[in-house]
Structure 1
Amino acid sequence: MINSFNGLSTTARASILMIIGVLFFSFMDGIAKGLSTNFHTLEIIWARYFFQFLFSCLILLPNLTQLMRTKYPKLQLIRSLFLFGGTMGFFFAIAYMPLADATAIFEVAPLIITTLAFVVLKERVDLRRWIAVIVGLLGALIIIRPGSSAFNIYSLLPFFAAFCFACYTVSTRFLGQEENPWTSFLYTGLIGTILATLMVPSVWQTPDLFQWLHLAAVGAFGMIGHFFLIRALFIGEASFLAPFAYISLAFNALWGVLFYNEVPDIYVLIGSAIIVGAGIIIWRIETKQKKKIIVPAPQF
């Protein structure tokens, strides 16, 4: 099987690795939602970071000291805080919302990244991309439906998560190619673990063995998803891989139907189609202009 995989083209291998990474992130989201019925979300977030960092340290132990050295400690802290905020927003969202709804709203992240790239990085954004951003945000409004009975404060949490992730992505761009991606990976796990450990004591509920396994799986699946994402980006261009991130919407919708009896309504389907369509338009523009963008994969 390994020989067959290695015999594939570079783009085919990168695509498969990306899809596997997104699949494992969706496993993480699905288990996190199930745990939210018995545990406070802060405890699930703690498990997500603690076990990811623990497993990562064990795997990377031979090179751990070297990988923990960074030339940009302040930037690592800032980007890790943004990712932690994104995790908080998304995990609290799926505790109160259907998986598909939360994931669909979160998919506005690449549109927000485009806006921040213009404001913060001073990147040129042409009219077509601005139109795509506006259309994508309209898609999110269709799902959220402000002013309707379907709207509540939790509907804003995935949008907050997307904004935090967009800030995380833009701050990561400042690292360029000078920082080892595994160094950045370890720091997001370390800082997230420290923050969650400070917050979780007030809501702590001791799990039984079966629940410990589920909590550990949240961190393990997050780590595995990151591994495949990094491997995909190592051999494939980010601009080519970007649309594969939208597959998370299909995966999470499937888990919602199978395990939580959550059937997306017509507004979610229409809004999702608009958001994904707007994101793909931006991707096509970026690809034609031969600019690389960071893949908006769900990294919570």
Structure 2
Amino acid sequence: MSNSVYFRPAAASEVSTGILLMFLSVLVSPIIDIFSKLAIATIPAAEITAARFVVQALCMLPIVIWRGSWKTFSWRANVFHAIRGAIITISMVSFVTTLKYMPVADAIAIFFVEPIILTILSSIFLKETIGWRRYTACGVGFFGAMLIIQPSFQEVGYVALLPVVSALCIAIFALMTRVLSHREDPWAMQLQMGIWGLLFCAIVLAFGSGTGSDVFDAVMPDGRGYLYLLGVGVTAAIAGIFGVYAYRAAPASTLAPLQYFEIVSATFFAWLVFGDFPDAVKWLGILIIIASGLYIIWRERRFASKPVSDTPQSALAP
């Protein structure tokens, strides 16, 4: 699939379809984290991440073969895919580890500083013009994140910063994806990301074997654990596929604001399964993050030559 499908003019019916598919994607995405939080009680974070990569690769492989995208694979590009695989592995392991100690909604809300970090990195590395208004919105967004991090930091310590590490990794990953997406098929990129991510997970799990680490020392899951791992992988694949077709039907700049609905759906599912619900201060932080992110997207759509949010979310961690 050519990258041009993300930017071609779309009919009104296609845009409506894209919005619906993106809505379904962000509705399903928090279920990935619900299954991850259930699994992390007995299964190391790196093992959960590896299971996600296995299912993702298995889902992408037949599509890549059917589309013939494997013909475009090159050893030179594999260097970049290997780096992307390492970065996404760090991001996922960091975020899944967070879920062992923090409520799902809090972790996701902190993670959503990613568009803010991406805006700043794009101005530095891609030389995109970012005005003072968007820099101010970035600062306000980080303040909102601190409203969530500060009480969590008192409760769980430095673990509260892991969603920021995850967001930073995803922002770097997005920059690389934007460069590669001009010449590579997104389905093939998803497959290669899964393969390289699985390889890095296998390496860290091998080194972590026997250490007793609750992050890197693999265990044999029980029956329920296997169901949780399967749930992580399947829901990640479904959310990713919904995302791919959403961006195929509608412009990324139209769909980007819908990503923030994930915080709302995550709060609902976390309350339903774990009984977690953010307090007033955390809700204030969540609303500030959402408002600053939406403002950044609005400014990008109005003034930027190419919005940083136009990286297809489906090409990121699903």
Q: Give the TM-score taking structure 1 as reference length.
A: 0.91
- CA pair 148-246 structure 1, distance change in 2 beyond 3 A: closer
**Local SS of the residue matching 1:38:** coil
**Local SS of the residue matching 1:214:** helix
- CA pair 65-273 structure 1, distance change in 2 beyond 3 A: closer
Q: Which residue of 2 aligns with 1:157?
A: 162
Deviation at 1:286, TM superposition (A): 1.1
Residue identity in the other structure for 1:205:
V
Q: Does 1:207 align with 2:241?
A: no
Deviation at 1:78, TM superposition (A): 1.8
**Local SS of the residue matching 2:184:** coil
Deviation at 1:40, TM superposition (A): 1.6
How does 1:115-194 map onto structure 2 within 5 Å?
115-145=120-150, 149-150=154-155, 152-194=157-199
Q: Determine which of 41, 50, 60 is the counterpart of 1:56.
A: 60
* Distance across 1 between alignment mates of 2:153 and 2:242: 40
* Distance across 2 between alignment mates of 1:245 and 1:254: 15
Q: Does 1:285 align with 2:293?
A: no
- CA pair 260-147 structure 1, distance change in 2 beyond 3 A: closer
Residue identity in the other structure for 1:31:
F
Deviation at 1:106, TM superposition (A): 0.3
RMSD: 2.2
- CA pair 263-11 structure 1, distance change in 2 beyond 3 A: same
Q: Which residue of 1 aligns with 2:43?
A: 39
Work out whether residues 144 and 150 of structure 1, in 8 Å CA contact, stay in contact via their aligned partners in 2. Answer: no
**Local SS of the residue matching 2:220:** coil
**Local SS of the residue matching 1:149:** helix
**Local SS of the residue matching 2:118:** helix
Q: Give the TM-score taking structure 2 as reference length.
A: 0.86
Deviations 1:147-182 (A, max 9, x none): 973461111000000000000001111114211111
Deviation at 1:116, TM superposition (A): 0.2
Q: Which residue of 2 aligns with 1:275?
A: 289
For structure 2, the residue ranges without an aligned partner over 5 or more in a row are 1-10, 210-216
Work out whether residues 115 and 293 of structure 2, in 8 Å CA contact, stay in contact via their aligned partners in 1. Answer: yes
Deviation at 1:257, TM superposition (A): 0.7
- CA pair 73-111 structure 1, distance change in 2 beyond 3 A: same
Deviation at 1:199, TM superposition (A): 2.4
Q: Which residue of 1 aligns with 2:3?
A: none
**Local SS of the residue matching 2:182:** coil
Identity of aligned residues (%): 29
* Distance across 2 between alignment mates of 1:98 and 1:126: 35
Deviations 1:24-47 (A, max 9, x none): 221111101111112122221111
Deviation at 1:126, TM superposition (A): 0.6
* Distance across 2 between alignment mates of 1:57 and 1:34: 28
- CA pair 147-236 structure 1, distance change in 2 beyond 3 A: closer
**Local SS of the residue matching 1:66:** helix
Aligned residues: 294
Work out whether residues 40 and 48 of structure 2, in 8 Å CA contact, stay in contact via their aligned partners in 1. Answer: yes
